């Protein structure tokens, strides 16, 4: 008998073991739902899969009775726009400040302690301040995402810049590079894939801040909808929305990973087939 | 020309003297090996030649001019590791030296200029034996090939001085022998002054025309940092130089004859 650490599943095995927890979760849900419905046909807590399907058809494929909008798509567009704006602005700020702090001793001396303190402020605690200062519209939601994500991105990137071996920076100087040339040809190209990796880690917090802000003040958006229908205990809408948000997050993470391996082949070079 | 003068150089850190009273005159075109036990300041001396650190006292002159206090294109360098850019292919790693020189803002060349720089880089890569690996990333090259690439990269700016910090320390002995031959050939062709730090005495004597041994001459047992190291032996290997000149002359005669 070989040790268990040396036994590996084959290709089909990987698929099977990967799908198993999903199948198990679905089965547990179906059984629990059936049991509750047997006891009380009007139970709203665990609606049957058919009710979930009807709810999806209602919010995604038929116009809303009051507004005439297709709710799911309107909510998705609103949320993704806020998320995209917030993360885009965060990336730009992090790229500029992260590289400057990591590479230029004077900027590091001036800004590193400030950013370190800033990153300790709980973003949700300043949400009321953001609502007061920026109003209840789009801006405060975008600013919350930026505020929540940027300090982490800056510190991560500055740390990565600091990890660039001293030898590389000296070598560039002996080839006659100016500080600016070192930034554009040596530091920036090596930092973009690292920033994308940091962004992938930030997707979770970014969604958290987005849904929180939408729950408190919004007129459309995925988070807004979930918290709106909560009043009617409409689990049949909440559950598909949660699944949809999860899918969006998963797909964006996947796309970012593909982006890295497509445009930065040197990161995988020499590490064998992956 | 690349005459190096070191005049009364000291290097002190708080509570520690690393180097003291270093005086040196190195004529142009010399191949110097810096040897000595670890922690005796030979790498610190190389860093001062590089401009990465500056002397606490004294001065270093290159052709009579004080050395610029930061690394620059007149001094090429090869470290033991991490000397090449991991995100660029072998060819790009060499071309980038030209791009730094000719394109101030973008540090990129286009069109005819680019093709010219690539041709130059290709011929240098062919000299160091990497002609077949132009489009590989450094991580795909072996240790010896990465060091060849680092040397090729340094050569494109035609430095007056080439500084080597244990360049072959991580290589196996067979690869080392190939690298010695390559390095001596390039040194003869480019007429650079070479400084090489090595902990391998034999390597030093094999390659160099002058061996500089660093060691402490005074030692305070209660305070190891009180005194610094200095150059205890400055051995010109004139015999070898003469032999090399002879060999070169013989080669020069042989060429028109063939």
pLDDT under 70: residue ranges of chain B: 1, 240-258
Question: Residue written as tokens 């402020």?
Answer: A121
Strands (E) in B63-152, as ranges, are: 65-66, 75-78
The CA distance from B197 to B74, in Å, is 19
pLDDT tens sequence across A64-123:
878 888 888 999 999 999 999 999 999 999 999 999 999 999 999 999 999 999 999 999
Whether B154 and chain A come into contact, CB under 8 Å, resolves to yes
Helix (H) or strand (E) holding B177: helix B173-190
- The pLDDT assigned to B250 comes to 66
The shortest CB-CB distance from B87 to any of A175, A184, A190 is to A190
Whether B52 and chain A come into contact, CB under 8 Å, resolves to yes
Nearest C-alpha in A relative to B68: A174
ipTM higher than the 0.90 cut: no
Q: Token pair for residue B245?
A: 């000149």
The CA distance from A34 to A40, in Å, is 10
Residue B194 β-bridge partners: B31, B162
The sign of the torsion formed by the CA atoms of A37, A41, A43, A44 equals: positive
The CA distance from B46 to B222, in Å, is 28
Give B111-120 contacts, CB < 8 A, sequence gap 24+: B118/B91, B120/B156
Whole-angstrom Cα Rg for chain A: 24
- The pLDDT assigned to B249 comes to 67
Please indicate whether residue B234 or residue A257 has the higher confidence score (pLDDT). A257
Distance (Å) of CA A171 to CA A57, A90, B165, B166:
61, 32, 12, 15
Instruction: Work out the minimum CA distance from B91 to partner chain A, whole angstroms.
Output: 14
pLDDT tens sequence across A198-249:
999 999 999 999 999 999 888 889 999 999 988 888 898 999 999 999 999 9
The CA distance from B185 to B249, in Å, is 14
Q: Helix-strand-coil percent breakdown of chain A, rounded to 5?
A: 80, 0, 20
Residues of B in contact with A185 (CB under 8 A): 96, 99-100, 107-108
pLDDT band at A273 (very low <50, low <70, confident <90, very high): very low
Provide the residue ranges of all domains of chain B, joining segments of one domain with +.
87-158
| Average pLDDT, integer, range A154-172 | 94
* Inter-chain touch B105–A180, beta carbons under 8 Å: yes
Asked if residue A128 has pLDDT above 70, the reply is yes
* Inter-chain touch B73–A180, beta carbons under 8 Å: no
Instruction: Work out the minimum CA distance from B242 to partner chain A, whole angstroms.
Output: 32
* Inter-chain touch B72–A174, beta carbons under 8 Å: yes
Instruction: Work out the minimum CA distance from B140 to partner chain A, whole angstroms.
Output: 5
Asked if residue A132 has pLDDT above 60, the reply is yes
The shortest CB-CB distance from A168 to any of B50, B82, B101 is to B82
The domains located in chain A, with CATH, are 4-46 (no CATH), 60-267 (1.10.3720.10)
């Amino acid at each position: 008998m070989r040790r268990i650490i040396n036994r590996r599943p084959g290709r089909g095995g990987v698929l099977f073991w990967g799908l198993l927890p999903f199948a198990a979760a679905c089965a547990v849900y179906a059984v629990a739902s059936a049991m509750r419905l047997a006891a009380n046909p009007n139970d709203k807590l665990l609606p049957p899969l058919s009710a979930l399907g009807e709810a999806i058809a209602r919010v995604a494929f038929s116009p809303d009775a009051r507004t005439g909008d297709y709710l799911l798509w309107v909510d998705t567009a609103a949320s993704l726009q806020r998320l995209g704006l917030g993360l885009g602005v965060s990336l730009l700020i992090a790229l500029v400040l992260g590289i400057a702090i990591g590479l230029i001793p004077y900027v590091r001396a001036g800004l590193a302690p400030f950013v370190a303190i800033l990153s300790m402020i709980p973003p949700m605690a300043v949400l009321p301040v953001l609502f007061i200062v920026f109003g209840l519209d789009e801006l405060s939601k975008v600013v919350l995402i930026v505020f929540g994500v940027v300090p982490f991105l800056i510190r991560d990137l500055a740390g990565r810049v600091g990890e660039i071996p001293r030898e590389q920076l000296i070598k560039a100087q002996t080839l006659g590079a100016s500080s600016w040339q070192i930034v554009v040809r040596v530091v920036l190209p090596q930092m973009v894939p690292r920033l994308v990796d940091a962004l992938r880690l930030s997707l979770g917090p970014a969604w958290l801040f987005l849904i929180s802000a939408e729950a408190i003040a919004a007129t459309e958006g995925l988070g807004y909808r979930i918290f709106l229908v909560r009043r009617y205990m409409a689990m049949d809408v909440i559950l598909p929305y949660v699944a949809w948000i999860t899918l969006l997050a998963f797909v964006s993470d996947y796309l970012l990973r593909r982006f890295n391996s497509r445009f930065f082949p040197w990161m995988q070079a020499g590490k064998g087939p992956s | 020309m690349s005459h190096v003068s070191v005049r009364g150089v000291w290097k002190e850190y708080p509570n520690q003297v690393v180097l003291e009273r270093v005086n040196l005159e190195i004529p142009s075109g010399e191949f110097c090996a810096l040897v000595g036990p670890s922690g005796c300041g030979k790498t610190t001396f190389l860093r001062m030649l590089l401009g990465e650190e500056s002397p606490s006292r004294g001065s270093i002159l290159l052709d009579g001019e004080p050395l610029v206090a930061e690394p620059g294109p007149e001094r090429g360098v090869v470290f033991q590791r991490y000397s090449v850019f991991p995100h660029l292919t072998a060819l790009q790693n060499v071309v980038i030296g030209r791009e730094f020189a000719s394109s101030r803002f973008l540090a990129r060349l286009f069109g005819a200029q680019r093709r010219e720089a690539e041709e130059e880089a290709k011929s240098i890569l062919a000299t160091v034996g990497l002609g077949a690996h132009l489009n590989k990333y450094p991580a795909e090259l072996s240790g010896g090939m990465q060091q060849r690439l680092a040397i090729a990269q340094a050569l494109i700016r035609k430095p007056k001085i080439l500084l080597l910090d244990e360049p072959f320390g991580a290589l196996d002995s067979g690869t080392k022998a190939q690298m010695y031959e390559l390095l001596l050939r390039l040194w003869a062709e480019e007429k650079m002054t070479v400084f090489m730090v090595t902990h391998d005495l034999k390597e030093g004597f094999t390659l160099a025309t002058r061996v500089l041994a660093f060691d402490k001459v005074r030692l305070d047992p209660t305070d190891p940092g009180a005194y610094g190291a200095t150059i205890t032996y400055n051995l010109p290997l004139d015999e070898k130089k003469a032999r090399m000149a002879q060999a070169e002359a013989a080669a020069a005669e042989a060429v028109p004859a063939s």
